[in-house]
Amino acid sequence: MEEANNTFDVIVIGAGNGGLVAALTLQKKGKKVLLLEKGRVPGGFASSFKRGRFEFDASLHELCEYGTPENKGEVYYLFESLGLTDKITMIPIQETFSIYTLDTHEQYTMPVGKEAFLGQMEKYVPNSTASMLHFFDLCEEVKQALAYLNETKGHPDTNVLMEKFPNFMVVAPYSVQKVLEKIRMPIKAQEILTTYWSYLGSPAESLSFVHYASMIYSYITNAPVIPKNTSHEISLTLSEEFTNLGGKLEYLSPVKEILIENGSVHGVITEDNRRFLTKHIIADISPHEVYTKLIDQEKVPDKAKKFVSSRVLGARGLCVYLGLNKSMEELGLDRYSYFIYHTLNSNVEYKRMHNLYNGNLVATLQNNHEDTSIMCLTSLLFGDVFDQEVTEENYYEVKEKIAENMVRSFEEATHVNIHEAIEEIEIATPVTFARYTNHPDGVIYGYLAQGYDNLLPRIMNEPNEMYIKNLHFCGGFGSRLSGYSSAYLNGEQEALKTFGEMKNDTI
């Protein structure tokens, strides 16, 4: 009896975006699902917190691939199938991005919509239209080819790929920089177009064209959205749907061990020594954590150990959350997002971002109530500079210095004084993010996607990367890489694969 109560068709570890969607997808298919979360709320990074009269989104700046009821994106279709679209209010953001540079004193604002984007680029960079049109054609083909790869679950027919997507096959191995150079896009247009590089955590010379094209095209053609009541609203809705359907969601239940028998998943043990059995696990946490800490090392195949040591950790995050006692109008700011770099050369800026006080950041800004606003400044760090330079003794001093530098950077770039309007401030560092999600070194964008270890190879290789039978990974460390939409879509994908595998289960 005891055994039956503790046995599940699937156990999902971690209630982040990917884990929530995976759990709900399988519960909707009638499976008995246990979702174990170490924290006390759902969502992982997709959460919010309150300070004084302000509620801050912990992470979400923009959700892409959502769209509108008239122009549905992939995430819209997913949420519709899960019955969520009428339960969450999304607000479209009517701009693509604004960039300000500190050293070269440039400023560009790009609108949403292909025509508008093209027109604005031509104004900033005369004679860029032909190469931009070429770029859009490539983006469209990339979009369709990726849809085909998803349909065929990483086993495409190469003849179909060659016939239907010949340009995709040509650009697939190359970086954004290589392809934009090849289509003779003027340098300034390339620089403006690659503004979003920091969202994917790799500079133009090593960022996959396919990865970047699929993201930027979605932002340009379909306005990004944010939920009216922060990303916590989405996480809460997903978790409620799951439990309303009978799913078992246990908070404050960190998994301390994954049980393996004969090379296959057998169950888990939680920190408080509860034991749950299953033949299928979907982990919404990093393979680093799973293979090095949660599984008896003798049961971890050498290939899995090699896999983990070959992956490079991606960007660490530094966030400054500001509650301002002035509205955006009073401050003289009218954009939602401000990308601030020293220059527009992403390769140079990527190197700069191996420095604690690099001053590059993305700021998002919204009115709160009538007379207040909320601003979030996010800066990225690459490499291990944080671990090298920050100690227990200097931690608070360093994090305040970094925050001060970020506020100063924003003010210098926009010529707007915000520090005098600060009513509440909270600073999150890689230490905060590591404690919150257990991700190694507090990385916020999963594994670094560069060179040959990029979106496409990850999707194609994924079927070969299951080193323990029926142990799947989803979310930001999954094959679709980091980001809200990637994590949601990957959660569904891994759930459907798991559902398929269950057909082979013996009683």
Ligand X SMILES: Cc1cc2nc3c(=O)[nH]c(=O)nc-3n(C[C@H](O)[C@H](O)[C@H](O)COP(=O)(O)OP(=O)(O)OC[C@H]3O[C@@H](n4cnc5c(N)ncnc54)[C@H](O)[C@@H]3O)c2cc1C
Residues in the site for ligand X, rule: CB under 6 A? 13-19, 36-39, 44-46, 59-62, 254-255, 284-285, 317, 319, 378, 433, 437-438, 444, 475-476, 482-485, 487
Q: Which is nearer to ligand X, 44 or 247 (CB)?
A: 44
Output the smallest distance, CB 110 to ligand X, in A. Answer: 17
Which has the closest alpha carbon to 13: 298, 325, 254, 247? 254
- Nearest distance from C-beta of residue 159 to ligand X, angstroms: 34
Least separation in angstroms between residue 492's CB and ligand X is 12
How far, in Å, CA of 480 to CA of 150, rounded? Answer: 10
Residue 419 CB, nearest distance to ligand X (Å)? 21
State in angstroms the smallest separation of the CB of 362 from ligand X: 8
Nearer to ligand X, 14 or 165 (CB): 14
| Closer of 14 and 267 to ligand X (Cβ) | 14
DSSP, residue by residue, 245-313: TT-EEESS--EEEEEEETTEEEEEEETT--EEEES-EEE-S-HHHIIIIIS-GGGS-HHHHHHHHHSPB
Cα torsion for 386, 60, 364, 374, to the nearest 10°?
Answer: -100
Nearest approach in angstroms of CB 431 to ligand X is 13
Name which of 373 and 438 has its Cβ closer to ligand X: 438
**272 vs 298 by CB, closer to ligand X:** 272
DSSP notation for 157-225: -HHHHHHH-HHHHHHTTSBHHHHHHHTT--HHHHHHHTTTHHHHTS-TTTSBHHHHHHHHHHHHHS--E
Q: Are strands 281-283 and 471-473 parallel, antiparallel or unpaired?
A: parallel
Cβ nearer to ligand X, comparing 124 with 436: 436
CB of 17 to ligand X, least distance (A): 4
Query: What length is written for the chain?
Result: 507
Rounded (5°) CA angle 503-466-258: 85
The answer to whether residues 148 and 161 touch, using CB atoms and an 8 Å cutoff, is yes
Give me the residue whose beta carbon is nearest to ligand X.
Answer: 16
Rank residues 91 and 162 by Cβ distance to ligand X and give the closer one: 91
Which lies closer to ligand X via its Cβ, residue 121 or residue 471?
471
- Residue by residue, DSSP assigns 371-395 as T-EEEEEEEEE-TTHHHHH--TTTH
Nearest approach in angstroms of CB 63 to ligand X is 6
Stretch (H or E) spanning 412: helix 395-414
Report yes or no: 177 and 190 within 8 Å, Cβ to Cβ.
yes
For 192, residues 6+ apart whose C-beta sits below 8 A from its C-beta are 99, 108, 110, 121, 124, 125, 344
Nearest to ligand X of 168, 276 (CB atom): 276
- Look at strands 54-57 and 361-367 and give their pairing: unpaired
Q: Taking the complex as a whole, how short is the minimal distance between the CB of residue 103 and ligand X, in angstroms?
A: 25
SS3 state of residue 33: strand
